[in-house]
Amino acid sequence: MKAVLVNGSPRASGNTSLALKEIEGVLVEEGFEVTSIQVGHLPIRGCLACGKCRELGRCVIDDAVNRDAALFREADAVVFASPVYYGMANGTLVSYLQRLFYSSHIDWRYKVGAAVAIARRGGLSSTFDELNKFFSITGMTVAGGQYWNGVYGRAAGEAKEDIEGLQQMRTLARHIAFLVKATALEKAKEGGLPSDEKPVYTNFVR
């Protein structure tokens, strides 16, 4: 079982990293191979909408998005964690995820996804909702926990004091592990996972 944890903060040892470490500890106990990626400090620009990825199966901007795609292709579970910036996810993380999901042509269906937001005071829910968008449009299984996954803290390290937030992280990790194991059992049965209809693709003018 493989999990990829994405830290959207530019601070390597900040509160987002503390939240993810709590998740990682439980996932390792549950038998996962965990890969941690930090993206918030990287110069990652947004999607150019050039459409070249439809031919190439990768992004024309050859950066961490292309480099990391193989990890996500192999993953059974992913966690996207972001510090809250103005009530939203970190802009670099959003650019990274939008380009990853648009360009990589990964079959995300039935992979388990979880979103986590970290804030000083406000915007946890809106950031959590923003990150969840990637899971529900791609047929992923969204893991929940005991609340809308969030941890409080401002200065690096403060998250250690949010004992409820850290408990949420451990609960979430256990739920992720259960869902990955349950999916593997179902996949192994005759017929495996359900096959979908060929998608119909329309817009509002035709």
Ligand X SMILES: Cc1cc2nc3c(=O)[nH]c(=O)nc-3n(C[C@H](O)[C@H](O)[C@H](O)COP(=O)(O)O)c2cc1C
Rounded CA gap, 89 and 69, in Å?
Answer: 20
Residue nearer to ligand X on the CB measure, 30 or 158? 158
The distance of closest approach from Cβ of residue 62 to ligand X in the complex, given in angstroms and rounded to an integer, is 27
The distance of closest approach from Cβ of residue 75 to ligand X in the complex, given in angstroms and rounded to an integer, is 22
Which of 92, 95, 123, 172 binds ligand X (CB under 6 A)? It is 123
Rounded CA gap, 53 and 206, in Å?
Answer: 24
Pair of tokens at residue 160: 């250690």
Q: Is 16 in the site for ligand X (CB under 6 A)?
A: yes
Pair of tokens at residue 98: 């939008």
Q: Of the listed pieces 30-38, 119-127, 137-145, 191-199, which binds ligand X according to CB under 6 A?
A: 119-127
Residues with Cβ < 8 Å from 102, sequence gap 6 or more?
A: 47, 53, 59
The distance of closest approach from Cβ of residue 16 to ligand X in the complex, given in angstroms and rounded to an integer, is 3
Binding mask 158-197 for ligand X (x = CB under 6 A): ----------------------------------------
The distance of closest approach from Cβ of residue 182 to ligand X in the complex, given in angstroms and rounded to an integer, is 31
* Contact criterion met (CB below 8 Å) for 60 and 41: no
Which of 86, 105, 133, 193 binds ligand X (CB under 6 A)? It is 86
Q: Which amino acid is at 126?
A: S
Helices 163-188 and 15-29, packing angle to 10 deg = 40
